[in-house]
Amino acid sequence: MKNILIFPIKIYQKVISPLFPPSCRYYPTCSNYALQALEKHGLILGAVMALARIIRCNPFIRGGYDPVPEKFSIFRNLDWVNEDSAAAEWRKKNEQRKKY
């Protein structure tokens, strides 16, 4: 059943996303986060977590490292600036891409 949501996300990743410059403020990207949340938490909870993540990904938030939690939660990181070295490295690469 969760394939109903996984298929359009994969189409987005392969067809639509490459047409635009990278813009996700988080690592992993929102589409990868959605896939991981659906795999880990199933259709309903995974979809809720993916939607909450997409809402968090906006110009007013710095972003950073935000993995799918082991336990279901949409309010786990009210402090949305939890950046570690992997996220900092990703941000650096992302900023370099925006220059071109």
CA distance 93 to 87: 10
Cα 10 off chain centre by: 13
pLDDT tens by residue, 9-54: 999 999 999 999 988 889 999 999 999 999 999 999 999 999 999 9
- The answer to whether residue 100 scores a pLDDT higher than 60 is no
Q: Where are the domains of the chain?
A: 3-9+24-98
pLDDT score at 88: 63
Backbone angles phi, psi at 46, to 5 degrees: -65, -40
Enter the tokens of residue 94: 């992302």
